[in-house]
Amino acid sequence: AVDAQLGPPHPRWIRVNTLKSTVDEQLDTTFKGFEMVATVEEVMASASTGKRLICLDATIPNLIAASPGIDFTKTEAYKAGAIILQDKASCFPAYLLDPRPEHGDIIDACSAPGNKTTHLAGILHERGFAEGQRILAFEKDKQRAKTLEKMVRTAGSDKVTVIRPGADFLKTDPNAPEFRSVGALLLDPSCSGSGIVGRDDTPEFHLPSPGGSRSPASVNDANPKNLKRKRESPPTQTVLVDDDGKETIVSSEQALQTRLEALASFQLKILLHAFAFPAATRVTYSTCSTHAAENERVVAAALRSDVARQRGWRLLRRDEQPRGLREWPVRGDPAALPPDEDENENGAGAGAGAGYGGSREALAEACVRAD
């Protein structure tokens, strides 16, 4: 059925894990009996027909859209880590980062549950890892780091991934010798999750965890006052409670603004920290949020910073982006930027992003440092 607000049901997105399998192998096994069609729209339209359709995604290599509602979690390929259930938008950041053997070590700053960490590994595996090249995966939450470890192991990327369970990316020293060769960083920080659709829980106050788990939000790191939403009462008001149990009643709109400000300030810190790694030439920044405050405005603020100007960070031009993304029509929302700030110093549109209206809405941003 077509939902009036959300549109037709979203397809199931399946990323073939190139560390363990190939698209051809999966077409012959997991997708045997499925009919191949040309467009995602046809796949989406098959929801109520009971047909089993698939199509190869035109933007992201090794990504398949399958008819909505099909459960792949019982398949051998899923259990063996040969396929990963990862929404299309969640595949943009690693592909946009375009990690290569010459980039040296790659940092995934906010890794759990590991969809993008394993995607980075899959891309590098296809290109061939350089001798000693590693993916350094940070995850501040020890519990979530366990999920990350499991996913990395199942995906067969444990030999090339160094997991730092409980490690806070913001506490690293970019100039430490161990990070001397870090050439690229993927930043996918905690966010409001406002762009997550197609789940039966409320996205606000949940950490986005592509792949389906539903961990409650722990945004204390992003919230200087440790304010947590206690209840909605009445619906237009929100009761916030701080660490000392003190309650404050605010309008829900005000509560959202407070939270977005805290998140944006944390997200900006992550981006500025990444800019400081001496050998870094590429960074991607992504969220599962539809709020410009967490997307375009964070990137615009980062590009106005001293570290960005000193090191020459700028947005990646369309012609510098990988095939598929070059053709992707969406590039952020210039109207979301403060007046006169839709052009950065180097002339690149600071609102450039890659929104995807699929089962998860996300904005992916890429920056590259001028050599």
Cα–Cα dist 304/285, whole Å: 16
DSSP state of 181: T
Q: Which of 113, 332, 353, 355 binds ligand SAM (CB under 6 A)?
A: 113
Report CA 207 to chain centroid distance, whole Å.
12
Note whether 112 binds ligand SAM by CB under 6 A.
yes
Which member of 55, 110, 191, 288 is catalytic? 288
DSSP state of 318: G
Helix spans in the chain (H) = 23-28, 40-45, 76-79, 88-97, 115-127, 142-154, 252-275, 296-303, 306-311
Judged by CB under 6 A, does residue 60 bind ligand SAM? no
Residue type, 351: G
91 is annotated as an active-site residue: no
Query: Is 144 one of the binding residues for ligand SAM (CB under 6 A)?
Result: yes
Minimum distance from residue 160 beta carbon to ligand SAM (Å): 17
Determine, following the binding rule CB under 6 A, whether residue 157 of this chain makes contact with ligand SAM.
no
Interface pick for ligand SAM out of 37, 84, 110, 137 (rule CB under 6 A): 110
**What six digits make up the tokens of 188?**
């996918």
* 168 is a contact residue toward ligand SAM (CB under 6 A): yes
Among the listed ranges 6-14, 27-35, 183-191, 224-232, the one in contact with ligand SAM (CB under 6 A) is 183-191
203 binds ligand SAM (CB under 6 A): no
H-assigned helices in 234-322: 252-275, 296-303, 306-311
Who's near 198: CB < 8 A, 6+ residues apart? 6, 9, 10, 359, 360
Backbone angles phi, psi at 302, to 5 degrees: -65, -40
Q: Is 169 in the site for ligand SAM (CB under 6 A)?
A: yes
Terminal alpha carbon distance of the chain? 51
Of these, 68, 165, 210, 349, which contacts ligand SAM (CB under 6 A)? 210
Question: Least distance from C-beta 203 to ligand SAM, angstroms?
Answer: 12
Among 59, 67, 90, 161, binds ligand SAM (CB under 6 A): 90
Closest residue by Cα to residue 193 from 294, 92, 280, 108: 294
The verdict on 161 binding ligand SAM (CB under 6 A) reads no
Among all residues, which ones are annotated catalytic? 288
Chain contacts with ligand SAM (rule: CB under 6 A): 90, 109-116, 138-141, 144, 168-170, 188-190, 207-208, 210, 221
